[in-house]
């Protein structure tokens, strides 16, 4: 009898242990998930909005230096940091790996309640191979380089060398294997950037003997299959190039795409994509974190590929990358240009969610974060150089930041604080497709956004006593037939009915407030002077607006909730 009871106890205990391991075991591995209208990053089993910043390239090569950066990063209200890991830093001697730095960065992030995205600076960083270890760089015979038209080799490893590929793959997989072990508990690392702004600078394509031979061979059938299967949705310029020479399904690169530097760029894109695909796949076999590439964008002054890195996933070549590197989940843009909305639209495609690993951290950067997240369901935003955030003060005071800057008060820190508060609502609205955003400036001072049952009219804030602001931004979320949350800075917002019925939208109730643990806590009830817009009633009535609206000042961004009603 006693034995039976003991046996039952043991069975019960084993069952309970199994259940608790499932319930309380390691958090699930971060992954991307299609949720309704958006693809979102799932962290600890829940959608996660990446409010990040990237450190300078070598900040993460010293844990001592990082000790000076963590407190600043925390003050800026980031939840994630992007840090480089150089191949040379972890494999300075061939086959001898040292991940002390990786472990120190994991520990630093955890202590500060932050997530990490590692940037693998392997074969290429900004086109060059400067982060490869000395034993690679110094052995040009074993690790061949790219050759330019002028007959000179550059410090750029060739995409066409098996030795290069295998050496990088060995190091990268060792790194990913280490992460699998070192990060199996808290899941501090949420994504990986593979290499950094790859592509050839100085020529439109590699002229080495191996590259010339590959260029003369037929276009691989995998690429041609992809083009045929996706012909209708290819990026218009790529489709035009291919169709202009007859949409051929066999032939050499020049036969299929024509004889131009764009063809060279496509050829390079394919070769980089295949190289990175091999790494991404091998890395995921060790530890399947989401992986993205980052792009050095074509600059307005560039004449052609080679002025910008030829082969980088630009708008023209993203389809080539999708065909060649399906294990790369996102081709992300580094937006160091002020026309952020154009670039966001070019990279946000049905098969490519938006994530911005590098951009501005000033007031314009705060607007970018709002716009990307609100209008393009971005997974996240990350300005470059967060360890020197003092330099993001607006207006930029030459190259020297003021002696002391209150980091918490910087535009991006304030924008991140509000986005963090609102993130459960934002993530839900991204999935439902009930969110939109505006990014306004004197060249584009208004935006009319159809959302739910109304058109949301967003203008730069106008006030007779103050000049019109140079920048305004807002996120709008529809939460019911006549109900919205609007968060913004320096804008005024009215609503026009967009469904049959009485033509004018009035304000039934407006309140300021904040979110605490996802719950809305109302503050002031906005009415009277606080909702009177500074333009004439006649003009407003002509636009089916009541003349009252939400006003968002310079002290922000802030959030308001509005309930509308309609009259004639």
Instruction: Tell me the closest approach of the beta carbon of residue 46 to ligand DGJ, in angstroms.
Output: 30
Residue from 91, 197, 206, 482 that binds ligand DGJ (CB under 6 A)? 197
- x/- contact string, 310-349, with ligand DGJ (CB under 6 A)? ------------------------x---------------
- CA distance to 28, 530, 532, per residue, from 376 (Å): 26, 31, 31
Instruction: Tell me the closest approach of the beta carbon of residue 57 to ligand DGJ, in angstroms.
Output: 5
Residues 6+ apart with CB under 8 A from 92: 98, 133, 134
Instruction: Tell me the closest approach of the beta carbon of residue 312 to ligand DGJ, in angstroms.
Output: 10
Please classify residue 67 by burial: count the beta carbons closer than 10 Å to its beta carbon, then call 0-12 exposed, 13-18 middle and 19+ buried.
exposed
Under the binding rule (CB under 6 A), the answer on residue 295 touching ligand DGJ is: no
CA 270 to CA 309: how far, in whole Å?
13
CA 136 to CA 158: how far, in whole Å?
12
Q: Which is nearer to ligand DGJ, 65 or 520 (CB)?
A: 65
Q: Which is nearer to ligand DGJ, 144 or 305 (CB)?
A: 305
Query: Phi/psi of residue 455, each to 5°?
Result: -95, 130
Q: Which is nearer to ligand DGJ, 196 or 430 (CB)?
A: 196
Cβ atoms of 137 and 129 within 8 Å: the answer is: yes
- x/- contact string, 374-413, with ligand DGJ (CB under 6 A)? ----------x-----------------------------
198: three-class secondary structure by DSSP: coil
81: three-class secondary structure by DSSP: strand
CA 300 to CA 279: how far, in whole Å?
32
Q: Which is nearer to ligand DGJ, 95 or 398 (CB)?
A: 398
Under the binding rule (CB under 6 A), the answer on residue 196 touching ligand DGJ is: yes
Total interface residues for ligand DGJ by CB under 6 A: 7
Under the binding rule (CB under 6 A), the answer on residue 57 touching ligand DGJ is: yes
Under the binding rule (CB under 6 A), the answer on residue 358 touching ligand DGJ is: yes
Q: Which is nearer to ligand DGJ, 57 or 560 (CB)?
A: 57
Under the binding rule (CB under 6 A), the answer on residue 55 touching ligand DGJ is: no
CA 318 to CA 412: how far, in whole Å?
30
Q: Which is nearer to ligand DGJ, 276 or 460 (CB)?
A: 276
Q: Which is nearer to ligand DGJ, 295 or 546 (CB)?
A: 295
- CA distance to 218, 298, 432, per residue, from 317 (Å): 18, 12, 30
Number of neighbouring beta carbons within 10 Å of residue 225: 12
- CA distance to 53, 121, 147, 330, 453, per residue, from 378 (Å): 15, 24, 38, 11, 24
Instruction: Tell me the closest approach of the beta carbon of residue 384 to ligand DGJ, in angstroms.
Output: 5
Residues 451-510 that bind ligand DGJ (CB under 6 A): none
Instruction: Tell me the closest approach of the beta carbon of residue 130 to ligand DGJ, in angstroms.
Output: 11
Q: Which is nearer to ligand DGJ, 126 or 382 (CB)?
A: 126
By CB under 6 A, name the binding residues for ligand DGJ.
57, 126, 196-197, 334, 358, 384
């Amino acid at each position: 009898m006693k034995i039976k009871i003991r046996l039952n106890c043991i069975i019960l205990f084993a069952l309970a242990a199994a259940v608790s391991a499932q319930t309380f075991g390691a958090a699930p591995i971060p992954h991307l998930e299609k949720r309704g209208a958006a693809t979102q990053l799932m962290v600890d089993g829940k959608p996660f909005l990446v409010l990040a910043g990237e450190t300078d390239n070598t900040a993460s090569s010293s844990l001592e230096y990082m000790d000076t950066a963590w407190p600043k990063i925390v003050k800026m209200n980031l939840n994630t940091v992007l840090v480089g890991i150089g191949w040379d830093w972890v494999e300075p001697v061939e086959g001898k790996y040292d991940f002390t730095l990786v472990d120190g960065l994991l520990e630093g992030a955890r202590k500060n309640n932050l997530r990490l995205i590692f940037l693998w600076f392997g074969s290429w960083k900004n086109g060059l191979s400067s982060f490869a270890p000395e034993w690679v760089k110094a052995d040009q015979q074993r690790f061949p380089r790219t050759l330019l038209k002028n007959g000179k080799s550059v410090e750029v490893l060739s995409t066409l060398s098996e030795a290069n590929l295998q050496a990088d793959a060995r190091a990268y997989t060792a790194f990913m294997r280490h992460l699998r072990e070192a990060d199996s508990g808290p899941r501090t690392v949420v994504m990986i950037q593979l290499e950094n702004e790859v592509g050839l600078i100085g020529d439109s394509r590699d002229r080495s003997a191996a590259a010339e031979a590959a260029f003369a061979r037929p276009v691989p059938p995998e690429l041609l299959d992809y083009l045929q299967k996706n012909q209708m949705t290819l990026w218009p310029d790529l489709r035009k190039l291919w169709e202009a020479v007859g949409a051929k399904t066999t032939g050499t690169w020049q036969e299929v795409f024509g004889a131009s530097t764009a063809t060279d760029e496509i050829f390079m894109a394919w070769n980089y994509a295949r190289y990175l695909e091999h790494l991404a796949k091998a890395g995921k076999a060790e530890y399947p974190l989401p992986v993205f590439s980052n792009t050095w964008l074509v600059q307005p002054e560039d004449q052609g590929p080679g002025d910008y890195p030829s082969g980088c996933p630009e708008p023209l070549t993203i389809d080539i990358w999708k065909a060649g590197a399906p294990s790369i989940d996102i081709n992300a843009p580094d937006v160091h240009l002020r026309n952020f909305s154009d670039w966001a639209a070019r990279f946000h495609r049905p098969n490519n969610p938006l994530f911005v690993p590098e951009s501005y951290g000033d007031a314009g950067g705060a607007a970018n974060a709002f716009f990307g997240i609100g209008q393009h369901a971005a997974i996240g935003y990350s300005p470059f150089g967060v360890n020197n955030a003092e330099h993001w003060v607006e207006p930029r005071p030459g190259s020297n930041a003021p002696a002391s800057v209150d980091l918490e008060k910087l535009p991006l820190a304030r924008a991140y604080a509000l986005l963090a508060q609102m993130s459960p609502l934002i993530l839900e609205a991204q999935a439902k497709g009930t969110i939109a955003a505006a990014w306004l400036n004197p060249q584009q001072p208004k935006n009319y956004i159809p959302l739910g049952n109304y058109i949301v009219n967003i203008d730069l804030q106008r006030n007779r006593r103050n000049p019109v602001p140079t920048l305004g931004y807002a996120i709008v979320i529809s939460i019911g037939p006549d109900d919205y949350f609007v968060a913004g800075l320096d804008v005024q917002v009215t609503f026009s009915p967009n469904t049959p019925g009485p033509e004018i939208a009035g304000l039934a109730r407006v309140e300021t407030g904040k979110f605490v643990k996802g719950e809305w806590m109302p503050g002031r009830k906005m009415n009277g002077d606080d909702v009177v817009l500074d333009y004439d009633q006649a003009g407003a009535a002509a636009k089916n607006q009541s003349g009252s609206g939400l006003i968002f000042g310079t002290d922000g961004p802030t959030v308001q909730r509005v309930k509308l009603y309609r009259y004639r």
